Structure 1
Amino acid sequence: MVILFGMPLVQVLLFGFAITNEIRDAKVSVVDPTPDAVTHAIRNKLFASGFFIESEILNSQEEIAENFRKGESKMVIIFENNFSGKMERGEHPTVQLIADASDPNTASMLVNYANGIISEFNREQQATSGIPLIIAEPRMIYNPALKGVYMFVPGIITILLMLVSAMMTSISIAREKELGTMEVLLVSPLRPFNIIAGKVIPYVLLSFINAISILLLSYYVFGVPVKGSVLLLLAESILFIILALSLGIFISTIANNQQTAMMLSMFAMMLPTILLSGFIFPIENMPEVLQWLSLAMPPRWFILIIKSIMLKGSGITYFWKETLILLFMTSVFILASIRKFKIRLA
């Protein structure tokens, strides 16, 4: 009854609030080597629009790569040296818009919004003083060609590993309950940890082979680069696989049969994984309640990690917090599963 009546309501709410292509409060950093009245006016107009919020003031262009790797900003705005001075001399000063195109849709919209605001500023200034036009120069990094596959491959890897791994373990254990073989294990001298480890290890190997296959296809067929450490990427993938498997085991301790386990694995995880992970729809555009809820979604953190390694070439120093979050979630699900087994043994 919960699945029949509760799931449609949850789906409608998620689709209604989470699916939006609007941009709000995107973090933007600024490089303004010689601040003046004109650059301040442009900055005020950009940040008053509601599309952008000021993230950080950078001292030089050398800090831009570090800023993007840390995930501090979605876009960096660079004002030319002596901006107002060039306008007074009749020259055309430039504003460079550098966007993180690892999410090409968001990057395109951010650049278009900024271009529109700068064009409006140009029209206002020309109408009053006839000053020369300000030229906006967009530049995309990490994905200059704005290929959609750069966004979809990390997300698809995450969804497949999450759903397949969790579903395999939850259904296999629920099937043993239905057949009565789980009771044999529960009354045996085996400890709960031994039972869980015996169920997880084979699927870790199978899911790891699956992950390697997906990565090979993405590299050789779709041309998605792996700029960072391959060993680090595989290690993070194993961690996420273990997390997904431990979640599947936890679901199996709740479900009494295969059908319930499949429904929980498919519908309780698939939609939140797609909608609340930031895979397709930016999390910062969602209501605050859904933003807080997304913090409990393991795929959100793994997508950040895999994009950092594959597209940005970042090391563990840039996503150690996300790795610790995945480790914590894995420990919680494993301990909860063991506790459930202990309750059954008691």
Structure 2
Amino acid sequence: MKQFITFVKKEFYHIFRDVRTMMILLLMPIIQIILFGFAITTEVKNSKIAIYDPSKDIATQQIIERLKASDYFEITRYLDNSSQLDDVFKDGKVGLVVVFSERFNETLMHTGKAQVQILADATDPNTATTLTNYASAIISSYQRDLLSQTTIPFQIVPEVKLLYNPQMKGAYNFVPGVLGMILMLICAMMTSISIVREKELGTMEILLVSPMKPIYIILAKAVPYFFISCVNLATVLLLSVFVLNVPIVGSLLLLILVCLIFIIVSLSLGLLVSTITDTQLSAMLVSGMVFLMPVMLLSGMIFPTENMPIALQYVSNIIPAKWFIVIVKDIMIKGTGIGSVWKEVLVLCGMALVLIIVSLKKFKIRLE
């Protein structure tokens, strides 16, 4: 029995000796329950919408007040003319626009019918469907209240129009996210594991004492994964266009440039992970926490970030895949140019610069 207890103690000492791995194992359940508890939700709340109301009469104002009072919508813009409709969607500032017809109340009172158009950004089909259903339900509730006050059979007909993805194909939403996840996993995870493997096997010390400078050793580790990622990028784009029928509406050159920037960001992340881990197991655990789960849950790939708590929305801003997915959707699906995505591109460039500097400074040229 004493020998058994001794072996148990030895295993505990072995676990506690690797403090980083122990912290990951203890923190991972906490992080997972927080992410899965708050990030995964099918509810759509506080979605940013715009209103185009040329009539500005009592009926439209009452409907707008009901939309404003709802927890589902946050009215962020009032449009002055119909030419702004396309721009407000391409800028990504709103996901839905409610358009009232001219002389709405007058037409409703004289003919008993009035039209209102609901325009939705369908690059995310599930969110677009949910938003249009919520808006239609609010308009229908206003119509029911009118019917309860009079015998006139008032009828308000919502006309739903889905932009950029009228066929409601799920591939339009998942292709940008899957592309980001593939590039992140191959570049970041495999790069970190490749470098840490050299440390674990003891061959990194041999490489560092070779005549080649350490920076060239790191670049030599990263270059193969850069080219493999380029091949995967071409494969995913070809399959998306010719198999999944997802169009590249915008500039192909701009799309490829953004993808190359994202690949550099991912390679820099992998290098950073390799500087803080000493074993392949630690590298895989860190990669799973830092890359896989956040990309899937906090990047907007599956669940819209605006539905998450404010704290998680701030956390999502430091995830490169979030900005990458926004850019790819805008270029591929909406056909926007650099004028609409320049802020997101600058964010990715800034992340790449910071990660490269931090990673190179933290990289140890002498092994302990």
TM range (shorter): over 0.9
> CA–CA distance in 1 between the matches of 2:125 and 2:151?
36
Equivalent position SS for 2:123: coil
Equivalent position SS for 1:138: strand
Question: Larger radius of gyration, structure 1 or 2?
Answer: 2
Q: What is residue 82 of structure 1 aligned with on the other side?
A: 103
Deviations 1:319-338 (CA, angstroms, capped at 9, x unpaired): 11111111111111111111
> CA–CA distance in 2 between the matches of 1:327 and 1:184?
34
Q: What is residue 266 of structure 1 aligned with on the other side?
A: 288
- TM-score norm. by structure 2 comes to 0.91
Q: What is residue 230 of structure 1 aligned with on the other side?
A: 252
After superposition, where does 1:95-174 map in structure 2 within 5 Å? Answer: 95-131=116-152, 132-174=154-196
> CA–CA distance in 2 between the matches of 1:278 and 1:152?
10
Residues 205 and 366, structure 2, Cα contact 8 Å, conserved in 1: no
Residues 158 and 299, structure 1, Cα contact 8 Å, conserved in 2: yes
> CA–CA distance in 1 between the matches of 2:367 and 2:215?
12
> CA–CA distance in 1 between the matches of 2:295 and 2:317?
11
Work out whether 1:26 is the aligned partner of 2:47: yes
Residues 275 and 364, structure 2, Cα contact 8 Å, conserved in 1: no
Q: What is residue 11 of structure 1 aligned with on the other side?
A: 32
1:254–1:137 distance in 2 versus 1, CA, 3 Å: same
Equivalent position SS for 2:287: helix
Question: Which of these residues, 302, 320, 327, is aligned with residue 342 of structure 2?
Answer: 320
Question: Which of these residues, 354, 357, 363, is aligned with residue 332 of structure 1?
Answer: 354
Unaligned runs of 5+ in 1: none
Q: What is residue 9 of structure 2 aligned with on the other side?
A: none
Q: Which amino acid in 1 is paired with 2:281?
A: Q
> CA–CA distance in 2 between the matches of 1:160 and 1:76?
33
Q: Which amino acid in 1 is paired with 2:26?
A: F
Equivalent position SS for 2:346: helix
Deviations 1:40-96 (CA, angstroms, capped at 9, x unpaired): 000000110111111111122221111111011000100000101101212411010
Alpha-carbon distance, 1:201 to partner: 2.2
Residues 233 and 306, structure 1, Cα contact 8 Å, conserved in 2: yes
> CA–CA distance in 2 between the matches of 1:343 and 1:126?
78
Question: Which of these residues, 276, 293, 299, is aligned with residue 315 of structure 2?
Answer: 293
Worse overlay, 169-178 or 86-95: 86-95
Q: What is residue 45 of structure 1 aligned with on the other side?
A: 66
> CA–CA distance in 2 between the matches of 1:299 and 1:65?
26
Alpha-carbon distance, 1:194 to partner: 2.8
Equivalent position SS for 1:61: coil
Q: What is residue 56 of structure 1 aligned with on the other side?
A: 77
Aligned residue pairs total: 346
Q: Which amino acid in 1 is paired with 2:72?
A: F
Query: What RMSD in Å do the two structures reach over aligned CA positions?
Result: 1.5
Question: Which of these residues, 145, 165, 186, is aligned with residue 208 of structure 2?
Answer: 186
> CA–CA distance in 1 between the matches of 2:70 and 2:221?
53
1:201–1:343 distance in 2 versus 1, CA, 3 Å: closer
Q: Which amino acid in 1 is paired with 2:235?
A: S
Q: What is residue 304 of structure 1 aligned with on the other side?
A: 326
Unaligned runs of 5+ in 2: 1-21
